[in-house]
Amino acid sequence: MAKFILSIRWLFVLVIVLLVAGISGSNYIFSYHLYEEQLTQNFLNFSSIFQKEVEVLTKPVETIIYNIQALVCYRTLNFNDIEKAINF
């Protein structure tokens, strides 16, 4: 009878250990999955914000370059005549 009670106690301990291990393992996997999704979402947010800021910085520069190019094409601005280009 003592062996039977001892094995029931060990079975109970084993079941408790397996439950704790299963809950901890599933919690780890679930948390890792949520972390991975959150990290991906944060990276996408950061890259879109960075892209918008780069566009804000490059748009005026592109506009100035296109305007200078148009002035040179229409011969309004001539870089061979430095004094006229500086005055313009």
pLDDT in tens, 27-59: 988 888 888 888 899 999 999 999 999 999 899
Please tell me the predicted confidence (pLDDT) of residue 32: 87
Range(s) of the domain holding residue 41: 2-87
pLDDT at 61 over 80: yes
Q: What pLDDT score does 16 carry?
A: 94
What per-residue confidence (pLDDT) applies to 19? Answer: 95
Based on the structure, what is the number of domains in the chain? 1
CA distance 23 to 26: 5
**In this predicted structure, what is the pLDDT of residue 49?**
93
CB 77 within 8 A of CB 68: yes
Which runs of E-coded beta strand occur in the chain? none
What is the structure's pLDDT at 8? 82
- Is 66's pLDDT higher than 80? yes
Given this model, what pLDDT does residue 4 score? 64
